Structure 1
Amino acid sequence: MSINDNILIKIRDMKDSLTPVEKLVADYVLDNLEEIPHLSIKSLAQLTKTSDASVLRFCKTMGYKGYRNFIVSISASIGSMDEEQKDQYTDIQPGDDLHTIISNISRNNMKSIEDTLSVIDKREIERAVQVLRESNRIVFFGVGASGLVGIDAEQKFSRINKMCHTYTDGHSQLTAATLLEKNDVAIFISNSGNTAEILDALEIAKKNGACLIAITKYNKSALAEQANIVLSISTPEVTIRSGAMGSRIAMLTVIDILFAGVASAEYKKVKKYLTKTHDILASKQRK
C-alpha cells in the first residue's frame, strides 16, 4: 500500500520495464485517460489488440487484485490531475536565466518527493525499519550520486550508535559484501536498479544471507527483483542533470524516513547518543 497512491505515476515509472504486451496497455491508458473508467476489461483488450488475460496481468503488475480495483484507482487519479498539471517536471535548458533555474529545480525536487510517496510501500518501510532495528551491522552500497546518499545515511545512523559503513567503489563493495553475515543488512542504492557494481555486490551479499534492501526507481529492475525489501522512488523523465538531482532528493528522503523510523522506535535508547553527538559538535562551533 503506497502512502499517497497515484496509479498514473506508477504506470509512467513502470512503463519502460513492462513486457511488450503490457506496454501496449500502459500506452493506451496514458493516452486515453478520460475514456478508461468507462471501458470494460474486454473493451480495453480489444482497443489495445491484446486479451482479457493480458489486461488483467497488467493490472496485477501495477499492484491491483483485479480490473475493478484498477479502474477505481484510475478514476481517483484523474480526479486529482487538474491540480497536479500545474506542478509538472520541467527540464533545465541551456541558457535558462537564474530565476527559471531556481524555480524549475525547486519544483522538480518537490515533485520527486511527492511522486515518491505515490510509489513507496508503507508496509515495506515498516519491514525495513524493523530489520534495521534488529541488525548487527548496516552496510550501504552506492555508486556516484547514489554513493553520496549512502554517505549521508552512514552519518545519520552513526549518530544513534548503529554499526554502519558506506562503500562507493566496485572493489570495496565486493570486499564488504564478502564479509556480510546473516544478521547484517545491506542497503543497495541505485536509481536504475541495473548498476553493474551494485548487482555484483548484491549477488555476494545474498549468498551470505544478509537482508537486502533496495532503494531504487519503481520498475522491474534486477535489483528490485532480487532484494528482500524494495523501497521505490519516483524520478522525473528529463534529460539534463535535473533528473539525477530529482532521484538524489527522493533517495535522501527515503533515508530520512528510515532513520527517523528507527530513532523514533528506539528513542529511549538512542536519546543519549543523539545528545552526546549534538553536544560534542556544538562545543566545536565558534562562538
Structure 2
Amino acid sequence: MAINDNILIKIRDMKLSLTPVERMVADFILDNLEEVPLLSVKELATQSKTSDASVLRFCKTMGYSGYRSFIVSISASLGSMDEEQKNQYTDIQPGDSLSTIITNISHNNSKSIEDTLSVIDREEIARAVEAIGACSRIAFFGVGASGLVGQDAEQKFLRINKICRAYTDSHSQLTAAALLGKEDVAVFISNSGSTSDILEALDISVKNGCKTIAITKHSKSELAQKSDIVLHISTPELTFRSGAMGSRIAMLTVVDILFAGVASAEYHHVKKYLAKTHNVLSGKHR
C-alpha cells in the first residue's frame, strides 16, 4: 500500500473492477463519507444492503487486514476532502469556450498527477528502479496512447545507455516477448490493464522468467494481478478525451520517476552518457 495512500481515491479508481456486491459497498461509502467512520461492520452492511462478510471482503480487496484499519484510513482521508471537493475533475463539454478548455485540461492533468502520487506505492517504485537498474535490457509494451508513453521511456533510457526498445504493435510485441529472458525487464503500460495484445505479450514474458512491471490504474485487472511489480496511476472516469489525456500524463510522470530513480542511483556510471547525449543534442540546435 502506498505510504500516502488516499483510500477514497483508491475506491473511486477501483470501483468499476469490483464485484457487484463490492460495488454496492463502494457506492454507499462514496455517497456517505461523513457517516461511514461512525458505522460498525454490521451497520455498514445493513445500510449498503450487503452483509458483514461482504464488507470484510471489500476491506481485504482494498488492502486492509480488518475493518478497524480500513475505517481509520477513511477518517484520515476525509481530512483532505474539503479541498478535494473543490478540485474535482471537470469534463469537457461540446461548445465550451477555449478559455474553459484551457483551464479544465490543465486542471485535470495536474490532478491526475496529484492523485497518482497519493496512491502509488513507493516500495514498488523502489523495486522497479532496482530491477531496471540491474537488468540486461528493457522492453516497453503499449498500444495507442500507452505506446507513446513507451516510446518516451525508450528515448529517456537510451540517454543513459540502457539497452531498451518500445513495442507498439501486436506482432512486434509478441516477437519481442518471445526473446526476453531472466535477465531482462518488461514494462507493460495500459490504463485499463485489459488490452488483449498486452496481456498476450505479458503471458509470454512470464513464461520466459522475465521480470514484469505494470503501469496501470488501480483495479483488479489481469495485468495488475499477473505482473511482478505494479505501479498504480489514478485517472478520472470522464466521457470526453480529457480522461485519456489525464491517464497519459500520469503514466508519463511514472516513467519520469523511474528514469530519474535509475539515473540517480547509478549517477557515477551514467553521468558520462548524459553528458555525451546532451552535447550531441545541443549541437543540433545551434
Please, what TM-score do these two structures have when normalized by structure 2?
0.98
Q: Determine the C-alpha separation between the residues in 2 that align with 1:83 and 1:14.
A: 22
- Residue 262 of structure 1: aligned partner: 262
Which blocks of at least 5 consecutive residues in structure 2 are unaligned? Answer: none
- Residue 140 of structure 1: aligned partner: 140
Q: Which amino acid aligns with 1:54?
A: S
Q: Secondary structure at the match of 1:88?
A: coil
Q: CA deviation at 1:77?
A: 1.4
Q: CA deviation at 1:48?
A: 2.1
Q: CA deviation at 1:197?
A: 0.7
Answer yes or no: is the 8 Å Cα contact 1:116–1:233 preserved in 2.
Answer: yes
Q: Which amino acid aligns with 2:121?
A: D
Q: Determine the C-alpha separation between the residues in 2 that align with 1:198 and 1:146.
A: 11
Answer yes or no: is the 8 Å Cα contact 1:128–1:258 preserved in 2.
Answer: yes
> 1:86-235 to 2 correspondence within 5 Å?
86-235=86-235
Answer yes or no: is the 8 Å Cα contact 1:10–1:118 preserved in 2.
Answer: no
The Cα offsets for residues 199-249 of structure 1, whole Å up to 9 and x where unpaired, read as: 111111111111110001110111111101100101111111101100000
Q: CA deviation at 1:3?
A: 4.3
Q: Secondary structure at the match of 2:100?
A: helix
- Residue 277 of structure 1: aligned partner: 277
Q: Secondary structure at the match of 2:34?
A: coil
Q: Secondary structure at the match of 1:231?
A: strand
- Residue 4 of structure 1: aligned partner: 4
Q: Which amino acid aligns with 1:216?
A: T
Q: Secondary structure at the match of 1:282?
A: helix
Which blocks of at least 5 consecutive residues in structure 1 are unaligned? Answer: none
Q: CA deviation at 1:96?
A: 1.0
Q: Which amino acid aligns with 2:50?
A: T
Q: CA deviation at 1:33?
A: 0.8
Q: Which amino acid aligns with 1:192?
A: S
Q: CA deviation at 1:118?
A: 2.1
Answer yes or no: is the 8 Å Cα contact 1:3–1:117 preserved in 2.
Answer: no
Q: Determine the C-alpha separation between the residues in 1 that align with 2:23 and 2:32.
A: 14
Q: Does 1:62 align with 2:59?
A: no
Single out whichever of 150-159 and 51-60 deviates more from structure 2: 51-60
Q: Which amino acid aligns with 2:219?
A: N
Q: Which amino acid aligns with 2:166?
A: T
Q: CA deviation at 1:194?
A: 0.5
- Residue 51 of structure 1: aligned partner: 51
The Cα offsets for residues 8-42 of structure 1, whole Å up to 9 and x where unpaired, read as: 11000111111122111111111111110100112
Identity %: 75
Q: CA deviation at 1:181?
A: 0.6
